[in-house]
Amino acid sequence: MRIEETIPDPLAAEAEAARAWFAAEQASEFKLTGIVDPDAALAEDADARELRLILCGTREGQEVCLRERFRVRSANGGGFEVTHLADESPAIGSPAPLLDPPEGVRKGWVDASLAKHSFVVFLFYRGFW
């Protein structure tokens, strides 16, 4: 599994469509912070791709980063149809890979949190942060 923070240009429109759809469904704003295995998505048919995205935002007052799967299809007349797919379980059985954002996202989160608050407390518990 490879996680990239930069969305490849050929996937940018589909990834943004999935992000916007997810944000609307969750009634919350999410930022697109990464993509899982972009080469696999690029190898799929351009008319219907599976994208695994890392989305960070606020849910119920809490800042969260989520790994979500989407099927993105080209719609008639332009645009995209987005379907949310259930995420597979991690191979080891730990939910940590689902909750832990890519490494570079952490620094952005810390910087953004320190801009809003005078200090930030990190709590590490069995691999969760």
Q: Tell me, rounded to whole angstroms, the distance of Cα 84 from its chain centroid.
A: 12
Q: Do the domain assignments include residue 126?
A: no
Q: What is the pTM of this model?
A: 0.67
- Domain range holding 60? 3-116
Q: Do the domain assignments include residue 122?
A: no
Domain count, the chain: 1
Give the pLDDT of the chain (129 residues) as one tens digit per residue: 788 889 999 999 999 999 999 999 988 899 999 999 999 999 998 889 999 999 998 877 788 888 899 999 998 888 899 999 975 444 445 455 555 555 666 667 778 888 988 888 876 655 554
Q: Which two tokens stand for residue 5?
A: 């923070």
Q: Do the domain assignments include residue 129?
A: no
